[in-house]
Amino acid sequence: QVQLVESGGGLVQAGGSLRLSCAASGRTFSSYTMGWFRQAPGKEREFVAATTWSGVMTYYADSVKDRFTISRDNAKSTGYLQMNSLKPEDTAVYSCAAKSPYSSGNYSHPRAYNYWGQGTQVTVSS
């Protein structure tokens, strides 16, 4: 089992920044792909960013590329999502997820992930 807990969400004005954290426990975090997803009211959950176990390879949705940065600290079993230049359209519940190396599926698809945090609200005002 893997347990994930997000933190760092809140209210910020457009153009501001937030850093989300995802604390993991239960298994060897370093062996899992880590992803961030978000879901706004009335919309489907969408892919935001992901990184492999090494943290070297990173992937971003076009909508957040060059504004968000995903990283992980395997020694602390913690993942991060640094969000800069936030826009009102970034408002959503953000969730971190972990994908087992034995799980099939693409990193950008929510159904490929095995474990999920409960989410943290990010609200960006204009």
CB burial of residue 57 (10 Å; 0-12, 13-18, 19+): exposed
> pLDDT tens digits for 39-95?
999 999 999 999 987 778 899 999 999 999 999 998 898 999 999 999 999 999 999
How do beta strands 120-125 and 18-25 pair?
A: unpaired
Q: What is the pLDDT of residues 107-118, one digit of tens each?
A: 999 999 999 999
> How many angstroms separate the CA atoms of 72 and 79, rounded?
4
Query: Which residues make Cβ contacts (< 8 Å) with residue 61, sequence separation at least 6?
Result: 46, 47, 48, 49, 108
